[in-house]
Amino acid sequence: QALHEGLRQAIAKREFTLVYQPLVTSEDEKLWAVEALLRWQFGGRAIGPDVFIPLAEKCGLIHEIGIWVLHRACIDAAQWQFDEPVAVSVNVSVIQLMADGFIKILDRALASSGLNPERLHLEITESVFAKNKEKVIREVNAIKARKVQISIDDFGTGFSSLSQLQSLNFDHIKIDRTFVQNLEEGSDTIIRATVLIAREFGCKTIAEGIETPEHAAHLKAMGVDYLQGYYYAKPLSLTDLLHWYNNNN
C-alpha cells in the first residue's frame, strides 16, 4: 500500500531514472544499441522494476510511467553522440501497447525529442501473443510504418508459437537469459533452433545475460547477432555509458 502510494507520486518527485545497458555486435563487440532500464529510488532504497512494474500494471500507473520512460529515453538518445548512430531500446508493457492512444504517445515522443525513428527499438515481451491478434497486428504495423523497430523480449519463456511469430514482422528476437545461463544443461539446442527460425523470418537475434567470456564465445559460434550482459557492461548511468564507450569502442 505504501509502495502503491509512493509509486503514484514517483514521477512528480523525480524518483525515476533510466540506466542504459549496451548491446554489442557479436562480430566485433562494438556498441550497436542500448537498452533503457527503469530504476526507482523510493525512501532511500532502490525498488526493482521486477517489483514495481507489475504493481504499476495492476493499478494502471503503467501508462503514465511508460510515457515518462519513452520520452526520457528518446530525449537522451537524441542527444548522445557516438561515432555511429546507436539505437535506444525501450521496454513497453503489453498493457501500454494495447491501450488506445499508444501510437499517439509514440509520435509525441519522437516529435518532441527529434529522434530518428530508426534509432528507436521497442521491446515487447512475447506475452503479447496472448492478446487480440488483430489489434496486435494493427499496432505492430503502425509502429513499423514509422520505421521504429520491434524486439520480442524474453523469447522462449512463454507464449509464442512459430505461427504467431510468422504472422508479425518483428526485427529482433531477444533470447531470454535463462537459456544462456543453462547452456551446459542443453539449452544450446533451443538457441540454435531460435537462430535458424529468426533467419527464416528475416529477424536478427540478441542474446541476453552474457556473463562470461565462455558465454560470449559460445553464442558467437551459434551465430547470434548481438550480445548483452554483465560481461560487457552493467546497466549504466548516461555519464558512465559515455565513459564505457570511450574505453571500449
Q: Answer yes or no whether residue 123 interacts with Na ion by CB under 5 A.
A: no
User: Residue 37 binds which one of ligand G, Mn ion, Na ion, none, with CB within 5 to 8 A depending on kind?
Assistant: ligand G
Output the smallest distance, CB 175 to ligand G, in A.
Answer: 10
Mask: binding to Na ion, 131-170, rule CB under 5 A, as x and -?
Answer: ----------------------xx----------------
Question: Is 205 exposed, middle or buried (CB count within 10 Å of its CB: 0-12, 13-18, 19+)?
Answer: buried
- Give the one entry of Na ion, Mn ion, ligand G, none that residue 235 binds, where binding means its C-beta sits below a cut-off of 5 to 8 angstroms depending on kind: ligand G
Quick one: 177 or 218, whose CB is closer to ligand G? 177
CB of 44 to Na ion, least distance (A): 28
Nearer to ligand G, 169 or 178 (CB): 178
Cα 156 from Cα 147, distance rounded (Å): 26
CB-wise, 72 or 177, nearer to Na ion?
177
Q: Provide φ and ψ at 237, rounded to 5°.
A: -65, 165
Task: State the cell numbers at 189.
Answer: 539446442
Q: Does 35 bind Na ion (CB under 5 A)?
A: no
Instruction: Note whether 153 binds Mn ion by CB under 5 A.
Output: yes
**Which of Mn ion, ligand G, Na ion, none is residue 230 near (CB under 5 to 8 Å by kind)?**
ligand G
Q: Site size for Mn ion, by CB under 5 A?
A: 3
111-140 residues in contact with Mn ion (CB under 5 A) are 123
Q: Which parts of this chain interact with ligand G (CB under 6 A)? A: 21, 37-38, 48-50, 53, 69, 91, 93, 153-154, 177, 208-211, 229-230, 235
Nearer to Mn ion, 7 or 34 (CB): 34
- Cell numbers representing residue 240 in the block: 558512465
Which three cell numbers, joined as nine digits, stand for 23? Answer: 548491446
**DSSP state for residue 63 in the 8-state scheme:** H
Residue by residue, DSSP assigns 70-121 as HHHHHHHHHH---SS--EEEEE--HHHHHSTTHHHHHHHHHHHHT--GGGEE
Cβ atoms 222, 20 nearer than 8 A: no
CA atoms within 13 A on the CB side of 84: 12
DSSP state of 13: T
User: Which residues share a beta bridge with 34?
Assistant: 22, 88
Binding mask 15-34 for Na ion (x = CB under 5 A): --------------------
Please enumerate in sequence order all residues whose Cβ is within 8 A of that of 221, keeping only pairs 6 or more positions apart, or say none.
none
Count of residues engaged in binding Na ion, rule: CB under 5 A: 2
Residues of the shown chain interacting with Mn ion in the complex, contacts defined by CB under 5 A = 91, 123, 153
Residues that bind Na ion in the complex, under the rule CB under 5 A: 153-154
